[in-house]
Amino acid sequence: MKVIAFGIAKEIIGQQYLNLEEAPSNVLELKKHLLEHYPEFMELASLRIAVNEAYAEDGHPLNESDEIVIIPPVSGG
């Protein structure tokens, strides 16, 4: 399963694309995986996941064919 990262998430992972050998079954499992392998995510104010161009809640199921994007917190003004 391929996960796309932008902004600070890309910096934390060290690359824009993260390939997972075992696909998490839902968004919450993906978040747990990210926190376990990249503890720096715990320092972020928020961490959202988009699935197929829409924000997804923790229980949202994930499929191998989904486009999954890590959305880090953004600031602006």
Where are the domains positioned within the chain? Answer: 2-59
For the stretch 16-64, pLDDT in tens is: 999 998 889 999 999 999 999 999 999 998 889 999 999 999 999 999 9
Task: Check: CB of residue 8 under 8 Å from CB of residue 72.
Answer: yes
Q: What is the pLDDT of residue 45?
A: 86
Residues 6+ apart with CB under 8 A from 30: 3, 24, 49, 62, 68
Mean pLDDT value across residues 8-17 = 96
Q: In the numeric block, which tokens belong to residue 41?
A: 């995510």
Side chain identity at 67, as an amino acid letter?
E
3-state helix, strand, coil in the chain (%, to 5): 30, 25, 45
